[in-house]
A and B are shown apart, each in its own frame.
Chain A
């Protein structure tokens, strides 16, 4: 069995997002980069299937030269080879643009199973997996937290809202979008990283985008303004903590004087 895993390189969660001067995108020239979190889970799911069934795992990423970082990381963790789809507008492109680029690469790999993350941490479309399935004519299921591969089919556990789940069986080839937490992740070992240096990364270019087609265009990007009145408490930790406890007792009235290990001398339960 051959498994393709789609990996997006995104700005890290630690990076402090700043909007550019024209208010049209973020200043990602200054960003730090990493693998989209659910994509790491998709890769892990693929590697577990490889451990169990001896599958070949092919990592695919679409974007500028920097995205080879996530492909190298995937090879270091155990993927067998990688495909880098290059194209100028892929980094900030909409889901149709990215899915078209990935669809070409996926057709080239001809996998039995395609795993994507359920959503990207940056654009957050939650679209690429479903669109890719349609473009490649594969069956699909989303928000997957369990995979059982059978003969020509796959049985998957879908997460539903509020703690509910459902099993769904699909014919292969199929696209699955993977939810976080499906497995605990492995890290690249030194041996893996050394071996990865010898593994191939094919470079292919993305198809040209058709004129006048459907698309989502970003007009502006801004830091949202706070809708609700919040009381920010500052000062040194001890001082801020005392003020918070006072406010919770006297203003919000959600704590009584007996809350905590003792009663603060100056506090009287309001209304008592």
Chain B
């Protein structure tokens, strides 16, 4: 049996949870879905109808509404000790990053993170996993050792939410009182907020030129800006460019910034880390210019030029004239 730990989002199962469910379905074992947090009841109904899901459990406790790592760890550690699954599958979200490593350490069970592929072996009793290493420049195949359950987190976007197969009859949904002791929760959490000055809405842009660390400096950014103005495009950036203060944070594309899908996305000196890719891979046409022919950005691009952006970009600006 596999346990899938899903995250509710706005009263539905989050897209990332559906992707993780699609990954769990490839393991061909019965699935128990577990939900915690606000909106868990409603999200439970989304997941109960999926093929392979035999049981949906909502863990309930007054301290399981607003997320706090220690509460999630206590509730899931107790639940997993009772259910004894072979694998526990999570989406590799920020919440997962926050509590699952500590959960694995508490259970003393192996954890593999950010998986892009799952290959069941021995009729589904075990599996090997693929995951990126060295910033996505290599991919490793790994096996997990030690007693079950093995914990697995699935990279965002690696599986398709619309690949989730549906069943004819939905599984039952049960609400279980969770074992959480308020004294074990050390995080005192305040409500989530956004920075007030979120001035630019890049989600409406028809064309975007994104500058990566390859632009080298604030000065180097002017080359990207010239292309943006020649194309009538918005200027955006990867995280290091915003971290360095070359462009304001509200122009960052990626998991902690904006998610965009313009008709044209031109990535200049962007390596293509997964946290950047998730924010732009829905773009209609992607152009990548990078001096490293092996940069992962070329995996998602439609057109690519391998070379120095400071030679190529001015030539493109000239060719547009």
Contacts and interface: CB of A to CB of B under 8 A. Distances in A.
Interface string A73-116: 00000000000000000000011100100000000000000000
Interface residues of B, number: 96
Interface string B234-268: 00000110111100011000011111000110000
Contacts of B315: 237-238, 240-242
What is the interface of chain B mostly: helix, strand, loop, or mixed? mixed
A167 B192 CA distance: 8
Given A126-B113, A214-B147, A247-B303, A121 B135 contact: yes
Contacts of A123: 133
Given A131-B102, A212-B146, A159 B94 contact: yes
Interface string A214-240: 111111111110111011111001101
B316 A245 contact: yes
Of residues A143, A242, A245, which shows the largest number of chain B Cβ atoms within 10 Å of its Cβ?
A245
A245 B266 CA distance: 12
Contacts of B186: 139, 170-171, 174
Contacts of A166: 189-193
Contact of B101 (A95, A179, A221, A222): A95
Contacts of A174: 186
B193 A164 contact: yes
Contact of A221 (B140, B144, B245, B296): B140
Chain A interface size band reads 35 or more
A217 B302 contact: no
Nearest to A261: B321
A54 interface: no
A216 B94 contact: no
B319 interface: yes
7 contacts: A11-B134, A131-B101, A212-B145, A226-B298, A241-B318, A254-B285, A259-B232
Given A131-B104, A142-B69, A228-B300, 5 more contacts: A130-B98, A216-B145, A223-B138, A228-B302, A245-B319
